[in-house]
Amino acid sequence: MSQFLDLPVEILPLILGYLPKSQHLAHASLVSRTFSTFAVPQLYSRIAIYSWHKEGKTKVLQLFGTLASCPPLAHHVHRLEIRDFPKAVVSSEGDTLNFVVQGLRNCRNLHSCTWTRDGTLNSEILIALCLAPKLREIEFNGHSQGQYDPQILSRFRGLTKLSLIMPSSVVISQLDAMLRCSGGLLRHLTVICKTTGVVNDRVLETSGPLLTNLEQLYLTGCPKVTERGVISVTDFTQVGLTGLGLEGVSPKFDMTAFAIHCNHRRSLARLRSITLTVTRSMLDPKAWTSAVVSLLSQSPLERFHIYATSTPSDTGNFDDSVALLPLLPQFLQDLVLTHGQRLTRFSIHRMPLGLQTIEAICRGCNNLQELFIVVEPRLLNALPDLLVHATKLRAIHINYPTASQLEDESDNDGELGDPDHVLTASQTLNFVRRCGPSLFQFGCNTKVWQVGREIEESLSGDKVARLCLLPYESPVIPEQFLVVRT
């Protein structure tokens, strides 16, 4: 019988690719010199530091110490995601800051960099990133006052993806210079503000001619942006948008006029993903829903996201003042009727759905793989009987309000659907087992599990594979926690 060592060494990278956690790759690199040859590049290929990581600030300094002192390891870094960093470092002029800058300069193969924490960027760090010859994607905090010189941003060349987080007006003033340096290569533009007016129609009208190859546009928290500014972008894109996000834009945004213009120009004939928000102050929700259905009528839509900017009240009840709620069932069923054969993701947040609407989605979307919904607790027990109709469903995340978030998860406490209790471990497992065999990921409120299989031996001696819940191991943040941002 063949042994593991008899396998061709070329398949070892494929095997190691199934190890999601960095500590697993680190352990694999210690097995032998051959394992180290393949495991170390994967270990350093993607590095992420989040604010919830234990001793994250200490680890990030250790990381840059390693990257600065060992260039061969730094050469393996392709994606660098820094979401937590000590603010004291950027204001110092000592060896620590030198290690950070040198570590970045050693990352000669860096393709993507995320650096989002306010107050942790300075001019030296930005200059080091500008010198990365293969950098094509950057996401950074745009609050520059007293932190860095915004004019450095015009040195980035060849960017294909740009994400600005809370940009100041002086950073926005450098946007056109950044776009010109990218030479028309930019494919993805994201701007996340916080109800500020620094991004408005005039900014988009000026940038539009420089975005000829743009494929994805996401705007969040830009209350001064109307359909006029977005049209300025869609009219100049030669390839057509495949992704569009309009989250927290102007309440004066005329969706009807936008739909008429885009349909006339066939601007969204390639659109596969859209994210929209609704507010309780919508003037004419019926006209808005009709306009959205019309807007998407020419699009090969695959992913639909919508959420209300209001939240459930403190008592745990949904806010019925959201103007769209009475029209939501028919609106979603109209979308299913038009796009059901293509839709792979349906995401509805902060607006509860009834069982009839959920059933229509599951029955009408033959290729549905991801479903993120809000349901009232009393409906939870009936939900799996509807989810089984989505035979390709791989991920389901359910949100529901609880009157109190109890820490006691005893299997003997509470009934399924009781608003005073979160789902216990046994309730969750029983729920998942009723959802169908294709499920790979399950989430409820703030918890996410992977759905696995464990082999059990029956009384007759047969081996039986049974569903089980495993900790979520992927280093990537679950998509459902990234959808709601305003």
Q: Who's near 288: CB < 8 A, 6+ residues apart?
A: 255, 256, 278, 282, 324
pLDDT of residue 412: 38
pLDDT of residue 233: 97
pLDDT of residue 419: 52
CA distance linking residue 414 with residue 401, whole number of Å = 15
Identify the architecture of domain 272-486 in CATH. Answer: Alpha-Beta Horseshoe (3.80)
pLDDT of residue 413: 41
Which residue ranges in the chain fall short of pLDDT 70?
1-5, 93, 310-322, 402-422, 478-486
pLDDT of residue 171: 96
> 399 and 374 in contact (C-beta within 8 Å)?
yes
pTM of the model: 0.90
Rounded to whole angstroms, what are the CA distances from 341 to 289, 326, 463, 485? Answer: 21, 25, 37, 28
Bridge partners (DSSP) listed for residue 452: 468
Rounded to whole angstroms, what are the CA distances from 401 to 7, 263, 346, 420, 447? Answer: 52, 39, 20, 9, 14
Number of other residues whose CB lies within 10 A of the CB of residue 462: 8
pLDDT of residue 4: 67
- Residue 340 identity (one-letter amino acid): G
